[in-house]
Amino acid sequence: MAPTKDAEPPLHILFFPFLLPGHLIPMADMAALFAARGVRCTVLTTPVQASTIRSVVDRANGSSAAGTPMSISVVPFPDVGLPMAAQSGRDLATSRDYHDRFLQTVELLREPFCRFLSDHHADIDAVVSDSLFHWSAHATAEHGLPRIAFLATSMFARACTDTVLRSNVFESCSDDHGAVVSLPGLPHRVEQRRSQMMDPAKRPHEWAMFQLIHAADRSSYGELFNSFRVLEPGYAEHYRATQLRRRAWLVGPVALASGSLEDVASRGAVAGALSPDAAVCLRWLDAKLASSVVYVSFGTMTNFSPEQMRELARGLDLSGKNFVWVIAKGSTAASSDPSTPDGFPTANRGYIVRGWAPQVLILNHPAVGGFVTHCGWNSTLEAVSAGVPMVTWPRYADQFYNEKLVVEVLGVGVGVGAEDYASCLETHRVIAGEAIAESIRRVMGEEGDGAAMRKKAKELGVMPRGAVEKGGSSYDDVGQLMEELIARRSSVGCTADG
């Protein structure tokens, strides 16, 4: 229960998630986490997104002794000419047109958000807004409400990006492909290839957008992270005290607090339920030896060229390992069918999932011993929580920083050799099958650093649950934020009364 006085209503937090699954799902989980602690939580979102997270809300309300602490307030999807089927955002990587239209929603949701705040601000204690809605900082300030930002990434990546945006790191660096940039002032020595970074010389619009996002977040009350302290050693202190002097709460992994693995895996699936194919895939895994299968999936927004698909298929073949490979339905990649190249060994060693895979269940299956991932933060956190080492294959956004955390700071992964930062619609350098196979064998092998990496991954894998349980660091951070908001409510009330 919320530690409010009997006569006081519970805290009420408005959650305003961005519409893409990688942002929406963790914010819904986060709301469920606060609801479980007695906070009234309203999620403001659009119809398709509401149906994606309905099961999270139903579960939160079903397990609460305090009535219905979690609700969804639905606003229409902005009219950008996107068909209903494309409104989930999972086709973004397939077409420039879809991609650009979808991003227009960032601006067009301003009006319904402001209207909601005008109507309900007196009843709200705080707004948790996706950082991409940078304009929500101004709108919440206008109503005297604290805005808490959430960008669905690691604290490590956020701290790196912050350093890059605020320091002139590119000034003294050549623009050769191999040029290396040093990021000063971080708890770890971080050096990154320029080609792996959002470079203002090549991406002025993206750079300007992130300047806006960071300025809004810096002016906000604080930031929430779907992470936990032990995972990002030194970064909570870096954020709160040493360098940035910002309020930050690490409350994750948020998914762990919101139900069984089945419940977690079904978030994002059509109608919130796993398809029969999911059960077939899990039965296929049941027949495999422990740690003998590599799971290959690149989240919801990664697109590979047909040539890269062929090399990936060849790499899986050369690795000699069993595999489960997720190929999102509707992606360009899916149209270049990898099961047809001559000799592709799906028959015995491989299982291809087309559509939504039960990722959390797969990663936690004893047969899975490695994960080839694009290092989206949700996937990274899910692998960490399952104790599975990673082959890292970042493409853009925060993914190269997450790779650094996994490979260099935590020592639970091997890089496949991705060098170029390029969005889901741009061309990447093709990674050869031999390099893919070599990385998989390293992570899954019994010899060399593979065994040590797996041991570390297993050790790390037991920590997330401790963090979210009563007395854990993430549990405490949730309580800490609630206390601060209650104290703020009292002080604002006193000021108003006085």
| Binding of residue 357 to ligand UDP (CB under 6 A) | yes
Work out the number of other CB atoms within 10 angstroms of the CB of residue 96: 9
CB closer to ligand UDP, 69 vs 376: 376
Residue linked to tokens 């060994």 = 345
Specify whether the CB–CB gap between 282 and 255 falls below 8 A: no
CB closer to ligand UDP, 195 vs 300: 300
Catalytic residue among 23, 134, 188, 238: 23
CB closer to ligand UDP, 319 vs 359: 359
Instruction: Report the residue closest to ligand UDP, judged by CB.
Output: 22
| Binding of residue 162 to ligand UDP (CB under 6 A) | no
- What minimum distance in Å lies between the beta carbon of 399 and ligand UDP? 8
Specify whether the CB–CB gap between 425 and 303 falls below 8 A: yes
Three-class SS of residue 132? coil
By CB under 6 A, which span of 53-61, 128-136, 292-300, 443-451 interacts with ligand UDP? 292-300
- What minimum distance in Å lies between the beta carbon of 284 and ligand UDP? 16
Tell me if residue 188 is catalytic: no
Tell me if residue 130 is catalytic: yes
| Binding of residue 376 to ligand UDP (CB under 6 A) | yes
- What minimum distance in Å lies between the beta carbon of 413 and ligand UDP? 14
Strand partners of residue 353: 326
By CB under 6 A, which span of 9-17, 344-352, 355-363, 410-418 interacts with ligand UDP? 355-363
- What minimum distance in Å lies between the beta carbon of 40 and ligand UDP? 26
* Selected binder of ligand UDP within 69, 252, 268, 472 (CB under 6 A): 268
Distance, in Å, from the CA atom of 489 to the CA atom of 126, rounded to the nearest integer, reads 10
Specify whether the CB–CB gap between 385 and 264 falls below 8 A: no
Between 111 and 150, how does the x/- string for binding to ligand UDP read (CB under 6 A)? ----------------------------------------
The site that binds ligand UDP (CB under 6 A) totals a number of residues, namely 18
Nearest Cα residue to 375 out of 461, 453, 302: 302
CB closer to ligand UDP, 303 vs 359: 359
Nearest Cα residue to 154 out of 344, 411, 379: 379
Distance, in Å, from the CA atom of 75 to the CA atom of 372, rounded to the nearest integer, reads 37
Longest dimension (CA), the chain: 79
By CB under 6 A, which span of 37-45, 180-188, 194-202, 370-378 interacts with ligand UDP? 370-378
User: Which distant-in-sequence residues (6+ apart) come within 8 Å of 494 by Cβ?
Assistant: none
CB closer to ligand UDP, 169 vs 375: 375
* Cα 333 from chain centroid (whole Å): 22
CB closer to ligand UDP, 181 vs 257: 257
Instruction: Tell me which amino acid residue 497 is.
Output: D
CB closer to ligand UDP, 215 vs 270: 270
**Phi and psi torsions of 130, nearest 5°:** -60, 140
- What minimum distance in Å lies between the beta carbon of 24 and ligand UDP? 10
| Binding of residue 259 to ligand UDP (CB under 6 A) | no
Residues between 187 and 246 that touch ligand UDP (CB under 6 A): none
* Selected binder of ligand UDP within 253, 299, 338, 394 (CB under 6 A): 299
Instruction: Tell me which amino acid residue 211 is.
Output: Q
Catalytic residue among 29, 91, 125, 130: 130
Tokens of 72: 């969804």
- What minimum distance in Å lies between the beta carbon of 28 and ligand UDP? 11
* Selected binder of ligand UDP within 49, 88, 303, 378 (CB under 6 A): 378
User: Which distant-in-sequence residues (6+ apart) come within 8 Å of 482 by Cβ?
Assistant: 2, 3, 11, 34, 37, 39
Instruction: Tell me which amino acid residue 481 is.
Output: L
- What minimum distance in Å lies between the beta carbon of 90 and ligand UDP? 8
Strands (E), 67-186: 70-74, 126-130, 147-150, 180-183
Residues between 18 and 77 that touch ligand UDP (CB under 6 A): 21-22, 25
**Phi and psi torsions of 420, nearest 5°:** -115, 125
Residue linked to tokens 């296929």 = 284
Residue linked to tokens 């291809």 = 352
Burial 318-334 (b: 16+ CB within 10 A, else e): bbebbbbbbbbebbbbb
Interface residues with ligand UDP (CB under 6 A)?
Answer: 21-22, 25, 268, 297, 299-301, 326, 356-357, 359-360, 376-379, 382
Q: Give the residue numbers annotated as catalytic, written as ranges.
A: 23, 130
